[in-house]
Structure 1
Amino acid sequence: MRAFLPSDSCKETQLNAINPQSWLQVERGKFSKLSSSCTTTSSSIESFIKVPEPPIVPFFKPVDYVEVLAQIHEELESCSLQERSNLYLLQFQIFRGLGETKLMRRSLRSAWQKAGTVHERLVFGAWLKYEKQGEELIVDLLATCNKCAQEFGPMDVASQFPVEVDGALQETVVTDGEKSLKNVNFWIGDEKIVCRRQKIASLSAPFHAMLNGYFNESLCEDIDLSENNISPLGLRTISVFSVTGCLSDVPPDLLLEILVFANKFCCERLKDACDRKLASSVCTKDDAVELMEYAIEENSPVLAASCLQVFLHELPDCLNDERVVEIFSHADRQQRLIMAGQASFSLYCLLSEVAMNLDPRSDKTVCFLEQLIESAETDRQRLLAFHQLGCVRLLRKEYDEAESLFERAVGLGHVYSIAGLARLGYIKGHKLWSYEKLSSVISSVNPLGWMYQERSLYCEGDKKWEDLEKATELDPTLTYPYMYRAASLMMKQNVQAALGEINRVLGFKLALECLELRFCLYLANEDYKAALRDVQVILTLSPDYRMFEGRVAASQLRTLVREHVDNWTTADCWMQLYDRWSSVDDIGSLSVIYQMLESGEAKGVLYFRQSLLLLRLNCPDAAMRSLELACQHASNEHECLVYEGWILYDTGHCEEGLRKAEESIRTKRSFEAFFLKAYALADSSMDFSCSSTVISLLENALKCPSDNLRKGQVRFLLPYLFH
């Protein structure tokens, strides 16, 4: 989830990032008082440096990821076409629990590509579009390469539905002795509409029985239809359709009238024609809101799918419209079937995620998750839905409901939901029960790091420390144990040990919460230069980041800290960057680049260097943002082409990236253009003979002007290519 979903903290350790007095001092700019007050005693440090407890996340977290992923892979090889998308969706949920963004998107794309129904294509296409918010530049770049992202564009929904309506009933002629009634006169009020009797009879079994059966109307030339909610114009249009089979130039209001009439008299061909014609008229959200009601009421799947497409295309904004939320929130099983076919679970998975990202505590989030539970067809789908709603109920402090949901998820085999039960037990004052609950899990399965991390919340002293050490041993990527140990060491005024502890995790995982804690440690130790470095890296990763539980902007803290640090000249910055880059101090390099960007010089080059560092630190989203900024600030065309090429390459469009490199070289030979071409060619070709071409390109790169930082990388690579 993009939105951070925090849990309720345990009672004894409800944590705040900074006390109110210190916060006021920051607000008023009284930074020196803040820093001096925070370094005097352990109690003042304690009020300044706090660690929030790990959240209960709304993800599917199996005990054995490998086993479950292998099982899904096996099922994908033997399942029916109708089951594939749901399996890819489950795979997506597992990768999300692992935080594997690229694998998540790959699973979503597979679900879209293997979709067996129009509804699945709509849902997963919209999901991919939603996941790629902010990537409009990539779509534009692909368009310049005559390639477009198909999942982004609107679909001709009607063409995706097979025509399953039976042909016309056989026309017959009813005679009464020598008399044959070829026409029938329908009366609506004072208006007469002359229709061909057998053409109307062929529209449906009820009309056939009425006009050719043993009813009084069968022998009548005049029939009154005034009480059937059809206008004279509507009936004339139906008469034309009965002869031609077409509905040409019929306005939507009249189509709706005819649709209702066709449904009433079981005119399936006419109804299908209205359904498809109306589907093509849905252009705006207001159209979709109005017509979805008719689609559901009249069981018109094509129209419903067309309305659904409009809603999904406008995510997340459409969920701010209460009319749209009402449609999705209160649909029963039959209405969900009309609206989403067999993709109901996928639809509500998407809607729930979007709603949680907007506001996990909102009523609409609860409604969508309740619909998700109703739509679930397998135990794996149910356990995910129960767990997610349990997390939201916990967040809303609806503890009894949350407990019931977590219990149901555990009953279906989701062991991670026990963490939710333990939190609830502690909130209700049963700390020992929570500890024993986690102990029981640890002893009954192959334990994972999160189990020891969770159990550490319900014990103190050496036991807590041992559990956190075990959590780190089993899962070094968990940040809470490092942060807790660092904060504890700082409380004991063991500054170097505290910094050493938090540096352990920052050495391989650039987590914002860890950078924020280290910033606080440096601040408490009055090391303003190091504190400035960390806050500048925080702003590089997340320009709008707010610290101290969201109460103060990181940019404001940077302004205050910078008053205590000497300014660097441009020459100083380049020297600092060279030193840090050479020593592979990526965090330090990012901080220097952040400072250099304020000078306004060579911003395109600096943003590009920033992106390289962020990729090396495994921060792909921030790296992409830096690449886009590099494009915006490129000083010339050939430089911009290189950055566009890297954007295409990094988003999986290697051939298009290669073409951008070649275009840049044709414009002007440059180090970066040759390097990009060599890199993309080496990655895209499976032919080992291309090594000589790659080497030649890198040698050409070295002949072009550049600084020693970049050329050093090429000189480092070349010996490996010769082998």
Structure 2
Amino acid sequence: MTNNFLTTIKSLKLIEGCKAAQLYALSSVGASASTSGSGDAAGGSGRPQPQPPPPPKTVSMRSGSLYYPHAAPSTSGAFAPEHHLPCGLPVADALEPALDACLRPVDHVGALAASYRRVSAAAAGGGDDDLCDSYLEQHALFQSVGDARLLRRALRAARVHADDPHRRAVLAAWLRYERREDELDPAPPPLAPCTATTPLLECPRAALFATASAGVDPVCPCRRPPPPPATPPPHRLRRNASEMSEEEEPETNDLWFVIGEEEVACERSCIAALSKPLNTLLYGGFAEAHRDRIDFSRDGITPRGMRAVAAYSRHGRVDDFPPDIISQLLAFANKFCCDGLKAACDNKLAAMVRGVDDAHSLVDVGLEEASHLLVASCLQAFLRELPKSLTNPDIARLLCSPEGRERLDIAGNASFALYYFLSHVAMEQDMKSNTTVMLLERLNECAELPWQKQLALHQLGCVMLERGEFEDAQEWFEAAVAEGHVYSLAGEARAKYKRGHKYAAYKLMNSVVGDYDEPAGWMYQERSLYCVGKEKLADLQSATELDPTMTFPYKYRACALLEEDNAASAIAEISKVIGFKMATDCLELRAWFYLAMEEYELAVQDVRAILTLDPTYMMFHGRMHGEQLIELLRGQVQQWDMADCWMQLYDRWSAVDDIGSLAVVQQMLAREPGNGSLRFRQSLLLLRLNCQKAAMRSLRYARNSSLHEHERLVYEGWILYDSGHRDEALAKAEQSISLQRSFEAFFLKAYALGDSSMDTESSLSVVQLLEHANSCASDNLRKGQLTFFIRRTTTWEASTWTATCWTRPPSATASR
């Protein structure tokens, strides 16, 4: 069986795929695969084989998988990579840490304190615009911390204090994007009116039409009664302009606009009341003031459009007109400075945008007429369909091109917040794409504050470095350094190293370390890239002491220990970081070590944990999916049926073996992919491991696979709760209980209620809800945790509610 496994692995030709020094292995595997067959033929002819090339100088920094060159067989005899791993063992010197594409201050605590002071000063000054920018700065600073809860809190605060429809629409769409509501099946329409459980800050109508900040006004526009009809113009002027009397006259047609062969009857005083230019035209010193018929054939309006103008001038409403007529009214209002008519048309057309198709047909009208609200409404439709909308060429041209930004700017809809969101989405999808580069260039054009310029320039440098455009990357990093971003010096050093200037890179980072009395951990880590031997290890040790959360030092030391044939110490070293940070590359490295030691059970366990975190993860130089590796190792590991899996899950869950529990649940889901209960349990484990993004994905899978409405409501409630919306989660729980009493619905209600109130009365209500939950059917693991909860809540009341780490960690609790 082992021979069959090795034969299958060798058939993948992983060795040949690793022999060439490539910068982007993922993008070049297709080309290398076509040439690997000739190398095999040469090997069979008896000719001497060339030695493997040395480790490449450039390695992908942001790939989902580790990229190591093929290692020469070990001479010590402890490991023989050609026999156990055809792709060889990982090589320490080929490792390279990812360069963070975010703001990373030298003194993070000091930077956050300064940001807090700016927020306080802006709040004291009463300026919502400054407050919104300050909270966006906090969001940028929290990126390097990696806490999704803090990031959401900063976004919510920015949305609350956004003072114009454009930024409200952008930030509401961003909050919705973070919940990935579009991945629900069926997905709710992106611009549908909100319901009782829709977060107010994400409501599309509240973003555009709220009369006050959503943080102050709790009434959503979707739930307000319709506004009263607009009143007609307050007065009509008499024909005698010298008297300028405000006496009302009966509704009579005393003016006709000639358009082509048609005449449109109007009332002069009503038309004149629309704007000062029209009043001057009809009552001033122009010839038209003395004519009953005025030729409008060349003024760009049709007879139907002019009749609509006449109707609006009398009644002050545009509700009954179709979109094409309202578009003509908008053009007429712009031409003759009719502010009231323009506002009415802008509002009406913005309300007509109910999806991407409507937005696509109306956005050009809004841009041509500089209609702020209409363009904001169209942008909102595009943003709520991200990332799919970026694949539309017309939308991408508008959002990414310099000309598109200029058109948006004229309409008052180009902002740093817009391109901050767009570039964030683009970098998540494909960091090396042209779309990402163009959006970052627009972000840089919109940057005004120092932190905004630092962020845009640094991210441009990171993207260019990833694309292999090292000279451009160095220029962008230097520009970011000139704006005051010290961490960009690390990027500048990387770019110099990639261009062959290793000593210049070392000299630069050495000066950075020497310039600070209290250097940051990343400074030592970056300098270690250009050192060798004991000096490199000493820098890595200093980096770990200053910042234990960085994974690269652990990975390098583990690979170095493996090269010294000390596998047990290598696994112990990489397990240190896995113990507090579930990183896929670290798990892959440990699985690689286990495979080298022929510990297939442990290797498969880590691979299953990797697939839980990232179902699309590719291992071994991006050449093999994790599921494929598990299938190849099927004969080397013990196979369990579902009963065995439940026993294993009970043992590992009780022993707080989270990685082992994740692996068992993943194995069970391979047999029952539509089991929503297992998906929900998977989300609990992931939250306990502080892997919130993966946990939210598991909750969405649970919701989509559920066959019952009351279960779907519970899972939707947990999604809302984990994204910071307690009240909406509580409403979902109550809806579910009204359909059917269940353990999870009562538990959700108890958890949301206990986390929102800390008094004794709430504590008693929580205990009562937990007892109701205990009376419902559930498995022993969940009920065991519930008994633990009841005992602790009864003993310490609500003050200890957040200490309930057995089900959901404190980091996963929502906060406003």
Query: TM range, normalised to the smaller chain?
Result: 0.7 to 0.9
Distance 1:8 1:265, change over 3 A: same
Runs (5+) with no aligned partner, structure 2: 1-21, 26-54, 61-65, 73-77, 213-226, 244-251, 797-816
2:600 is aligned to 528
Describe the shift of the 1:166–1:524 C-alpha distance in structure 2 as closer, same or farther (beyond 3 A): farther
Aligned in 2, Cα 1:448/1:210: closer, same or farther, shift over 3 Å?
A: same
Q: Which of these residues, 39, 47, 57, is aligned with residue 12 of structure 1?
A: 57
Task: Show the counterpart of 1:147.
Answer: 197
2:692 aligned residue: 620
- Quote the offset at 1:290 in angstroms: 3.8
The yes-or-no answer on 1:197 pairing with 2:244 is no
Give the superposed CA RMSD.
4.2
Mapping for residues 311-330 of structure 1, pairs under 5 Å:
311-328=382-399, 329-330=401-402
Match of 1:337 in 2: 409
Q: Is 1:363 the equivalent of 2:434?
A: yes
Q: Which stretch of the first structure deviates more once superposed, 684-693 or 315-324?
A: 684-693
Structure 1 residue aligned with 2:575: 503
Tell me if the contact between 1:642 and 1:660 (Cα under 8 Å) persists in the aligned partners: yes
Which of residues 271, 275, 282 is equivalent to 2:342? 271
CA contact (8 A) 1:49 1:520 kept: no
Partner of 2:539: 467
Aligned to 2:795: 722
Instruction: State the match for 1:133 in structure 2.
Output: 180
Q: Does 1:111 align with 2:154?
A: no
Q: Judging by fraction of residues, say which structure has more helix.
A: 1
8 Å contact kept, 1:300–1:338:
no
Match of 1:31 in 2: none
**SS of residue matched to 1:12:** coil
Matches of 2:405 and 2:194, distance apart in 1: 44
- Aligned mate of 1:555, from 618, 627, 631: 627
Cα distance between partner residues in 1 of 2:194 and 2:269: 56
Alignment match, 1:70: 113
Deviation at 1:100, TM superposition (A): 0.9
Cα shift at 1:204: 3.3
How far 1:544 moved relative to its partner? 2.4
Match of 1:102 among 129, 149, 163: 149
Q: For residue 132 of structure 2, what is the aligned residue in structure 1? A: 85
How does 1:484-633 map onto structure 2 within 5 Å? 484-570=556-642, 572-598=644-670, 600=672, 603=675, 606-629=678-701
2:512 aligned partner, one-letter code: V
Q: Which amino acid aligns with 2:652?
A: R
Q: 1:175: how far off? A: 7.6
The aligned amino acid for 1:387 is: H
Deviation by residue 1:644-673 (Cα, 9 ceiling, x = unmatched): 665555444556666777898999998777
How far apart are residue 208 of structure 1 and its match?
Answer: 3.1
Residues 220-264 of structure 1 deviation map (CA, whole Å, 9 limit, x = unaligned): 344333332333333333233333333353332233334333323
Q: Percent identity?
A: 46
CA drift of 1:383 comes to 1.1
Letter of the 2:298 partner, please give it.
Answer: E
Contact 1:345–1:376 (Cα < 8 Å) also in 2: yes
Task: For 1:52-63, list aligned pairs within 5 A.
Answer: 52-63=95-106
**1:368-407 equivalences in 2 (<5 Å):** 368-407=439-478
Contact 2:522 2:543 in 1 (8 A): yes
Q: Give 1:173's aligned residue.
A: 239
Aligned counterpart for 2:318 among listed residues 238, 244, 247? 247
Q: Tell me the distance in 2 between the aligned counterparts of 1:659 and 1:265.
A: 50
In structure 2, the residue corresponding to 1:193 is in which secondary structure?
Answer: strand
In the TM superposition, residue 389 of structure 1 has moved relative to its aligned partner by 1.6
How far the C-alpha of 1:524 sits from its partner, in A, is 1.0
For each residue in 1:238-296, what CA deviation from the matched residue of structure 2 results, as whole angstroms up to 9, or x when unmatched? 23333333335333223333433332333333333333333333344344334322322
In structure 2, give the amino acid aligned to 1:509: K
Selected match of 2:502 from 419, 428, 431: 431
574-583 or 595-604, which deviates more:
595-604
Structure 1 residues 339, 394: closer, same or farther in 2, change over 3 A? farther
1:331 and 1:39 map into 2 onto residues whose CA distance is 56
In 2: Cα distance, 1:599 partner to 1:493 partner:
38
**1:489 Cα offset (Å):** 1.2
> Judging changes above 3 Å, is the alpha-carbon distance between structure 1 residues 115 and 187 closer, same or farther for their aligned structure 2 residues?
same
Find the residue that maps to 1:97 and give its secondary structure.
coil
SS of 2:633's partner is helix
User: 1:62 is paired with a residue of what secondary structure?
Assistant: coil
User: By how many angstroms is 1:606 displaced?
Assistant: 4.2
With normalisation by structure 1, the TM-score equals 0.84
The 3-state SS of whatever aligns with 1:497 is helix
Partner of 2:514: 443
Which one-letter code corresponds to 1:296 in the other structure? L
State the distance in 2 between where 1:705 and 1:229 align. Answer: 71
Uncovered stretches (5+) of structure 1, i.e. residues with no partner = 1-5, 23-34
Q: Residue 226 of structure 1 corresponds to which residue in structure 2?
A: 297
Shift in alpha-carbon separation, 1:589–1:56, aligned structure 2, 3 A: same
Q: Partner amino acid for 2:179?
A: K
CA distances 1:191-221 after superposition (whole Å, capped 9, x unpaired): 3334333333333333333333333333334
| 8 Å contact from structure 1 (residues 519, 534) kept in 2 | yes
CA gap 1:85/1:136 in 2 versus in 1, 3 angstroms: farther
Amino acid at match of 2:283: N
Paired position in structure 2 for 1:28: none
Residue identity in the other structure for 1:584: V
SS of structure 1 residue aligned to 2:258: strand
Task: Count matched residues.
Answer: 701
After superposition, what is the alpha-carbon deviation per residue over 1:146-204, rounded to whole angstroms, capped at 9, x for unaligned? 422234443277745899x9988973534899xxx993443333333343333333333
- 2-structure distance, mates of 1:698, 1:197: 73
CA displacement, residues 386-420 of structure 1 (integer Å, 9 cap, x when unaligned): 11122222222333332222112111111111111
**2:455 maps to amino acid:** L
Structure 2 CA distance for partners of 1:167 and 1:190, relative to 1, 3 Å: closer
Deviations 1:118-147 (A, max 9, x none): 11110100111111115648998xx99942
Q: How far 1:355 moved relative to its partner?
A: 2.0
Q: Is 1:417 matched up with 2:488?
A: yes
Instruction: For 2:383 and 2:674, locate their aligned partners in 1 and report how far apart those are by CA, in whole Å.
Output: 41
- CA, structure 1 residues 91+279, in 2 after alignment: closer, same or farther (shift >3 Å)? same
Counterparts in 2 of 1:393 and 1:269: CA distance versus 1, 3 Å = same
Residues 39 and 525 in structure 1, CA contact (< 8 A), matched pair in contact too: no
CA distance in 2, matches of 1:504, 1:541: 19
d(CA) in 1 for partners of 2:642, 2:585: 31
1:106 and 1:216, CA in 2 relative to 1: closer, same or farther beyond 3 A? same
Tell me, in whole angstroms, the C-alpha distance in 2 between the residues paired with 1:681 and 1:216. Answer: 73
Query: Hey, what's the Cα distance between the residues in 2 that align with 1:175 and 1:144?
Result: 51
Question: d(CA) in 2 for partners of 1:301 and 1:383?
Answer: 29
Amino acid at match of 2:795: F
Verify the 8 A CA contact 1:607 1:629 in the aligned structure 2: yes
Paired residue secondary structure (2:428): helix
Asked whether the equivalents of residues 284 and 310 of structure 1 are also in contact (C-alpha less than 8 Å), the reply is yes
How far did residue 309 of structure 1 move? 2.2
TM alignment of 1:687-698, pairs within 5 A: 687-688=759-760
Check 1:684–1:504 CA distance in 2 against 1; reply closer, same or farther (3 A cut).
same
